[in-house]
Amino acid sequence: MKFNFQMWWLFTRAALRTQMADASNAVLWAAATLLGMLLEWATLWALFARFGSIPGWDFASSSMLFGLVRIAFGIAEMIGRGFDRFHHVIRKGDFDRMLLRPVPVAIQLSVAEFSRFGMIGAGMVAFLYGCSAAHVVFNFGTIAYLVAVISGGAALFYGLLMMQATLCFWTVDGIEVANAVVYGGQTAAQLPLDKLSRPLTFVFTYVFPLAIINWIPAKVLLTGEFNLLALAAPLIGWLFFGLGALVWKMGVRAYTSTGS
């Protein structure tokens, strides 16, 4: 475990050095993502400006949802970009090389990519704006809960990235199916779940429980009332991560190289 962590740190430091070698590009990238995300947030504002608020839900609370989901996804992507791009690894045959190294492949694929700071930054801007506009009261308990929720959300997305990567063992290409839930989910997460249609509610509660880690915690912050499901939310995210890890392990075991 300690060795694996040291290796991960080594890889990550090397990756950071590479990215910093062309610092202007890294900064530009982060700034670009930040700008894109803020624009997306602005369209949400435009919708509320046009239509006014929905019963029980306004721009402030929607901003919290918008921010929370992007912070979580940004963290997952920062560490899990390797899984997201796994089809390149498979197609080029690089996976065989990874298997030869005496470090678990999952560690090799988890090398952090810091350009994702843009998304996390935009998420934080939106989330903090939402919290202050909705007069959310922070105390030690809610902050601890928030940290747990964000970690659970990141774990949830990370688990999904692993499942998506596992698919590549069979399909080699065409991993867009997972995108439907990843990006569709982020868009859906901007509005409270009970305002969406029933099939979507089902998918984002039971299949990919994004609403549990996003909407329910946001409601807790807004009302200050905890309930059992809200407390279990981070755990559900981590359970999904466990499921993803399990699926990934099975995929690696079933992998047969086309090798030479």
Contact 152, 73 (CB under 8 A): no
What is the chain's Cα-based Rg? 19
Q: Which residues contact 10 (CB under 8 A, 6 or more apart)?
A: none
Contact 149, 217 (CB under 8 A): yes
Q: Which stretch, 31-39, 75-83, 103-111, 142-150, contacts another protein (CB under 8 A)?
A: 31-39
Burial classification of residue 190, based on how many CB atoms lie within 10 Å of its CB (0-12 exposed, 13-18 middle, 19 or more buried): buried
Q: Which stretch, 9-17, 37-45, 131-139, 243-251, contacts another protein (CB under 8 A)?
A: 37-45
Q: Which residues contact 183 (CB under 8 A, 6 or more apart)?
A: none
Residue 236 identity: I
Q: Which stretch, 131-139, 176-184, 227-235, 240-248, contacts another protein (CB under 8 A)?
A: 176-184
Q: Does 253 engage in binding with another protein (CB under 8 A)? A: no
Residue number, 32 or 143, with CB nearest to another protein: 32
Q: Does 73 engage in binding with another protein (CB under 8 A)? A: no
Q: Does 249 engage in binding with another protein (CB under 8 A)? A: no
Distance CA 113, CA 82 (A): 9
Q: Does 19 engage in binding with another protein (CB under 8 A)? A: yes
Which of 4, 6, 13, 49 touches another protein by CB under 8 A? Answer: 49
- In the complex, which residues of this chain contact another protein (CB under 8 A)? 18-19, 21-22, 24-26, 28-29, 31-33, 35-37, 39-40, 42-43, 46-47, 49-52, 54, 115, 171, 173-177, 179-181, 183-184, 187-188, 190-191, 195-197, 199-200, 203
